[in-house]
Structure 1
């Protein structure tokens, strides 16, 4: 390993206890694979929920990745971990303000508290580098109205602000993780434009986002288009009901490694990060088993550290600030406003259901005094318990979470409005 290059790996481990298939065997296999390669400088893992799994991976790679951080968030943990060859001098985790609804127990995003985690490492050439690891909200897909992905949009905006702020503080930025979005979607546009992040896969495969009328083979989808999820080659995706996008392109590119230079710097004076290689990893099955390492493939990128002045015309070395287009801001605002109205409507229905439960409980309490058949009392008790649970849930969901979601959406809408006004003022003074 050379200090003139940074080799980064990101992988969603699918490691939810009691739910993920073959979890322990796969985590052991991932750790063994990482321990034998010793080629990575930074490894970011998602869905590594169980702390003992993290400890196993940490012990396996400690020889060449001696610095590691496991991040806590929500009730069940963020599932995020970062391993580094270079010293970690600071850590931070920023939970996203919206992560689905608490009533969506099966989805579980609200309980795990998805977040943007980061560490600051000290590199011998680059000095301070802020490394982000994240996992965005999953539900919403790619099709249908944009407000279906409002929570993911909020995640993307909040993540982009964090990455941009890190660069404004004079740090190099590396951002990796499972963004649950294909490259052409609005959340990814927000991240690329507002944070001015370079997509390592696109740097090395510049035509992979070009639409094609020809469906690639599963291997071509991986090699040429960077597919990391829902691939027919993956044992956990094969035979699974997939949406139209995954069927057409033999999977989806949901996992990314981004990077950028510090904000407003002179490439003639500071080193320049440039991606020279990016490829999909962990595509084979765990040796001796019929299953894959995870339901996602991994992504590896090699970032070359070029000496000051080596590439003065490189797009990687551009110091021009990147801003979100007005069309993108309008689209975001419309999507979030639509979600706000839907949230208000849903909260009203849930509160109405709470009132109905309350009235039924009062009716049962009064009627039970006059009811002539004592043997029905246990039935009424069970029904009353159910109404109490339902009413309490609807009160919490309709009022507490309803207000929570609306306030978070309104915050982002107003931030975007102020941001758009700022861009307009800047354009007038240019």
Structure 2
């Protein structure tokens, strides 16, 4: 690699809000999205909420000349909604479906049926290995009473772990997606601290878009303004995150977002704003990081906070499983009583009428019990991983700062040095 090596990468990310039969003007927006991507000719276009595979196939054909490589990540009942279009050949791809993803009985939210996941594709660009990840975490719905907080923290931890374990041979790591996390939320801090990823909005010196980088703004006609009452400027839940290994330096030269409308037609492409980042990868990084905004937050504090949240969620899951167990027991007693009454001939008609709803009660409570047992085990697994990492973090703290990079973060520089 030449000392003056430089790689420019243009990236596009958008939550497309492509729910069949429910999202307004979906077909028209998909068509205009294809026109926009063809005009701009990004290196990578990473999309979320493309729930219809027909929409993906339409975009696949329309974008084929400019983006010859593409992949649709399939999971769950409805699908992950994740897809990617690339100007460069895709060497490898895989995905990881999150263990926890909401509740199946919350049908009106629907996240459980989507099988939300993180998709990975590996590209080889100018001799560098680029790991690009696209993801979509569970929605928040109610910030004051967030019943999905533990699930979203667990998803953030799984996402961080997946990136940590799959990017050890990568030169550059890129993560784009709708995290459904505000910048200071626990899940977002946990993800950044454990992976070492940099936030393009915080790092760039050339940003053009809504104030504070918001990606859901009241100016967008598709946004429910009641959901933004506490946030008059909007909220930032969509991200472009990145990092490079030792010996390389990556920076965000420019970051653009739409501002409630698509620049060419004037109509919004989605209820989210699109992110357009220009990244530059260079050899021989400078002695001093030009970005004074990035400081390492206390990892131990974030790990403790995440552990406590998962512990609380696990206790809640076990409580619901216990309640369901009691309902199952009462239902079985009721069934036994009904059988006795029917066999004895006493009020036989009433016993027969009550038999079907009683069976339904037992089966429903049984499904409820099994789900929350599975939920508690999933949270317990994530909590155990966090507890182990927290122990290592405390160990590193006791040994001093020189030992912390190897024990705490397991940064790719150390991993690659060990391999070599």
Report matched runs for 1:248-397 at 5 Å. Answer: 249-262=232-245, 265-266=246-247, 270=248, 272-281=249-258, 283-284=260-261, 292-306=268-282, 308-309=283-284, 311-314=286-289, 325-367=299-341, 370=345, 381=353, 384-397=355-368
Structure 1 residues 244, 384: CA separation in 2 closer, same or farther (over 3 Å shift)? farther
One of 61, 64, 83 as aligned partner of 2:63: 61
Instruction: Determine if contact 2:204/2:251 at 8 Å carries over to the other structure.
Output: no
Provide closer, same or farther for how the CA distance between residues 141 and 279 of structure 1 changes in structure 2, counting only shifts above 3 A: farther
Q: 2:133 matched to which residue of 1? A: 132
The CA distance in 1 between the partners of 2:88 and 2:298, in whole Å, is: 33
Cα 1:354–1:313 shift into 2, 3 Å: same
Q: Tell me how far apart the structure 2 counterparts of residues 174 and 366 of structure 1 sit (CA, whole Å).
A: 65
Match of residue 375, structure 2, among 405, 409, 412: 405
For residues 355 and 287 of structure 1, do their structure 2 counterparts lie closer, same or farther at Cα, with a shift above 3 Å needed?
A: farther
Flag structure 1 segments of 5+ consecutive residues without an equivalent.
209-219
Kindly tell me: are residues 65 and 288 of structure 1, through their superposed partners in 2, closer, same or farther at Cα, counting changes over 3 Å? closer
Report the alpha carbon displacement of residue 327 of structure 1 after superposing the two structures with TM: 1.5
Aligned in 2, Cα 1:393/1:28: closer, same or farther, shift over 3 Å? farther
Q: Which residue of 2 aligns with 1:213?
A: none
* Residue 427 of structure 1: how far off its partner (Å): 3.0
1:35 aligned partner: 38
Matched residue, 1:72: 74
After TM superposition, list the pairs within 5 Å mapping 1:162-311 onto structure 2: 162-204=162-204, 222-229=209-216, 231-238=217-224, 240-242=225-227, 244-246=229-231, 249-262=232-245, 265-266=246-247, 270=248, 272-281=249-258, 283-284=260-261, 292-306=268-282, 308-309=283-284, 311=286
Per-residue CA deviations over 1:306-325 (Å, capped at 9, x if unaligned) read: 3x2363322579xx997862
How far apart are residue 334 of structure 1 and its match? 1.1
- Structure 2 contact 7–126 (Cα < 8 Å) conserved: no
Task: Please provide the CA RMSD for this pair.
Answer: 3.0
| Contact 1:78 1:115 survives alignment (8 Å) | yes
CA distance in structure 1 between the partners assigned to 2:23 and 2:82 by the alignment: 16
CA–CA distance in structure 2, aligned partners of residues 95 and 152 of structure 1: 13
Task: Assess if the C-alpha contact under 8 Å between 2:215 and 2:273 holds in 1.
Answer: yes
Query: Structure 2 vs 1, CA of residues 7 and 287 (structure 1 numbering), >3 Å: closer, same or farther?
Result: closer
What CA distance in whole angstroms lies between the structure 2 residues aligned with 1:84 and 1:232? 31
For 1:197 and 1:16, locate their aligned partners in 2 and report how far apart those are by CA, in whole Å.
30
Check conservation: 2:19, 2:52, Cα contact below 8 A: yes
Q: Kindly indicate whether the alpha-carbon contact (under 8 Å) linking 1:228 and 1:297 is maintained by their aligned counterparts in 2.
A: yes
Counterparts in 2 of 1:97-136, with a 5 A limit? 97-125=99-127, 127-136=128-137
TM-score by length of 1: 0.83
1:28 Cα deviation after fit = 2.0
How many residues are paired up? 394
Tell me which residue corresponds to 2:407. Answer: none
Alignment CA distance shift 1:285-1:168 (3 Å): closer
1:424: which partner in 2? 394
CA 1:52–1:117: 2 relative to 1, 3 Å? same
* Residue 4 of structure 1, CA deviation: 3.2
SS at the partner of 1:397? helix
Comparing 383-392 and 149-158, the one that deviates more: 383-392
Q: What do the CA deviations read for 1:42-97 (whole angstroms, capped 9, x no partner)?
A: 01100111111101111111111111110011122111001111111111101111
Give the 3-state SS of the residue equivalent to 2:17 in structure 1.
Answer: coil
CA distance in 1, matches of 2:15, 2:361: 35
* Inter-partner Cα distance in structure 1 for 2:395 and 2:340: 65
State TM-score, norm by structure 2.
Answer: 0.85
Q: 1:191 to 1:324 in 2, by over 3 A?
A: farther
Q: Determine which of 80, 87, 90 is the counterpart of 2:89.
A: 87
Partner-residue secondary structure (3-state), 2:95: strand
